[in-house]
Amino acid sequence: MINSKELFQYTQNLTLLFVEDHQELRENTTEILRNFFKSVESAENGEVALSLYKSNNDIKPYDIILTDIQMPIMNGVKLTEEIYKINPDQLVIVLSAHDESKYLLPLINLGIEQFLKKPVDYQDLLRILLNASKKLSLNTDASHNSKEIYLNADSIFNQETKILLSQNENMYLTKYEILFLELLTSNLGKVYSNEDIVEYFHKVSEHIDPQNIRKLVSKLRKKLPQECLESIYGVGYRIVPFYN
């Protein structure tokens, strides 16, 4: 059971846009979410949601986008694509029915935060929103305070010094391991494909063969906390966000 006070602690200053074509679900869910968030707006399809997003003149119109996939006029996949063109760092959570698996890979490749299966279990929804809100808080603190990325309570990667500390012990990293960690920690939770990794290495004037990425992952895992570096079959790799 989600602790409502803890959830409110992280969400009370955040804004959310909920996009869902089913009127009863949209209205009921919006009413629940308004108990926790500073502001909750809703839209009945992707076109309306995108219009709201563009009409808001703030740098970041909404902290969190919660959207269905199957909707008339503009679906959730197209909406997500258009939002990421405006703000690549937008946090997006997707609702998906069991028969919509064909949409999941494109959305993972886009970098969405989380999936939630329909019909909606509100405890699952609140748990996902709590984790997402903690991530936003963590990223804000990190951007304001330091370049230290906590991989768990005892492991820290410093993006500035390129040092990985585990229980206050300096873990030796190869040049390629450092570059790989730099990429994965540049946007915690985002999934990076083999193509993304090769492109990043190319940008910093290094070359990595896609066939050697799995070997790099295997070696780096031995130096990181257990289950910190996640492989998503057929999609790519990500650092699982750690929340204190």
pLDDT digits 0-9 by tens, 62-113 = 999 999 998 999 999 899 899 988 888 889 998 887 655 666 766 776 677 6
pLDDT given for residue 139 in this prediction: 61
- pLDDT higher than 80, residue 55: yes
The token pair at 183 is 């990429």
* For the chain, percent of residues with pLDDT exceeding 90: 49
Confidence of residue 145 (pLDDT cuts 50, 70, 90): very low
Residues 6+ apart with CB under 8 A from 19: 42, 43, 44, 45, 46, 48, 49, 65, 66, 67, 68, 71, 76, 79
pLDDT given for residue 117 in this prediction: 82
Residues 6+ apart with CB under 8 A from 89: 187
Q: Specify the range with the lowest mean pLDDT, choosing from 109-118, 141-150, 181-190.
A: 141-150
Overall average pLDDT of the 176-188 stretch: 92
Overall average pLDDT of the 24-37 stretch: 93
First-to-final CA distance of the chain: 19
Reference 92, options 102, 104, 80, 108; nearest CA is 80
- pLDDT higher than 80, residue 154: yes
pLDDT given for residue 231 in this prediction: 92
3-class SS at 116?
strand
Which pLDDT tens digit goes with each residue over 201-227?
999 899 999 999 999 999 999 999 988
Which one is predicted more confidently, 244 or 156? Answer: 156
Reference 3, options 28, 36, 41; nearest CA is 36
The token pair at 23 is 């009127």
- pLDDT higher than 60, residue 59: no
Confidence of residue 143 (pLDDT cuts 50, 70, 90): very low
Name the fold adopted by 4-142.
Answer: Rossmann fold (3.40.50)
Q: Specify the range with the lowest mean pLDDT, choosing from 115-124, 155-164, 170-179, 228-237.
A: 115-124
The domain segmentation of the chain, as residue ranges, is 4-142, 146-239
pLDDT given for residue 60 in this prediction: 62
Query: Distance of CA 60 to CAs 55, 73, 158, 194, Å?
Result: 11, 25, 27, 29
- Asked whether the CA dihedral 86, 92, 181, 163 is positive or negative, the reply is positive
Which one is predicted more confidently, 59 or 216? Answer: 216
Task: Give me the helix-helix angle, 122-145 and 23-33, nearest 10°.
Answer: 50
Rounded distance, CA 20 to CA 67, Å? Answer: 6
Confidence of residue 189 (pLDDT cuts 50, 70, 90): confident
Q: Which CATH class is domain 146-239?
A: mainly alpha
Q: Is the pTM of this model over 0.95?
A: no
The token pair at 141 is 């603190």
* For the chain, percent of residues with pLDDT exceeding 70: 88
Rounded distance, CA 16 to CA 11, Å? Answer: 9
- pLDDT higher than 80, residue 241: no
